[in-house]
Chain A
């Protein structure tokens, strides 16, 4: 039950406690936040088991961990470690250039990134229990996440307006199973929760994506790469809940210290959102 909440990237047990204290609904256990993965380069892999175990022991909220796209054995290991959710993530270096993980083969629920409705439906067909925008992680630039969120929600609105006879062609264009296309055309929403991730750095960023229609928010580098992580984490939690109340978003945005410096997504040398298909 993560909806309306904030899921925070943490790299130590201490950070995990700060996140839980601030009201995070879950933490993402990582060795490096996306901003550092960008800065340091190299192959980014699943976190070490001892790190995940230390973070699991430190908090009472659910713990997520990332597996590389297509690396089903990393996902098996994470399931064996007892993580609560696996994020098949483009932030790590993909392990399979052609196939995502068959998520139906697991008990642990998966969250997967998507840049469009077609991509979201392909991940759901593979068994994803939650979808998040990809955004451009580690930049502090929310524009790509906004683009993805608008793409998914806009395409859902367009599908609703189609005649049933037009849905097979829509499914072909979306490269998604017709059955799922028919379902979302009928309901107007994904059959799983839609979260937002990638570049969220301020309370206003969080409220922006919630007003656009996200059901929960992932914050990666935005918290622990800022001047006052505890205060900023708490402010983003409040803004995510009270996203319709500008007076509260304004109130919690005071005196947060420096935001992560960030880089414009357009200037980022590596575009993570293009990973996966």
Chain B
């Protein structure tokens, strides 16, 4: 009104954040499942985590494909004549497909035999491919060098940390009542959430000291609704609070504190993914 303006849509909408969230959890669960081969305390999680990650993969895959404007062309990504290896999405698609195949083999193996060497091997491969998922999603953002926050090289690491945190949080919820497992998971949650916190603080700090685009993105991410989601829900309630709770849970009533932290971590990591995805896109809609 009054002035001629033009408006741009953001590139990626909130559904993509849900996808990030799901893929993070499923990667985390795959780590847990593999962890059960090494840490006996996690043994009760092995099947649950493997199945859970399969279900989530199906869900996430569907979400991802539905989010394409041309869902039926998803197979173009797998067409070797089309594949463009400079795109993280191309790698990501291969990674997802490979992960899916390995997950199926792994589950088949789990149904066939207990504790087989092949099972352990498949668990390892699946977990490695699972690691690729948060790495590629993080990479998917960080290749966008023109977007403040996204363009930090630490994005993949942040996404791995988030995956471990949310995976172990889901693990903690799945293993309710099992003290041994919970003890291990507490460590995972504590360290990964701590790492998330440290990474975010350093990203925020450097962002605020960049040029005007960075500075404006900082403002966008720390004020208004976006600030509530990012700082309030993501950083304070979803990162700082669970870390504090977990530290405290060591001495006091383990169970509730732990479960509460797990829930907080999940809520927080969802909020963080939303804010990290949407926040840095706002500036360009104004430009």
Q: Real complex partners, A and B?
A: no
Q: Using CB atoms and an 8 Å cutoff, list the residues of chain A in contact with chain B.
A: none
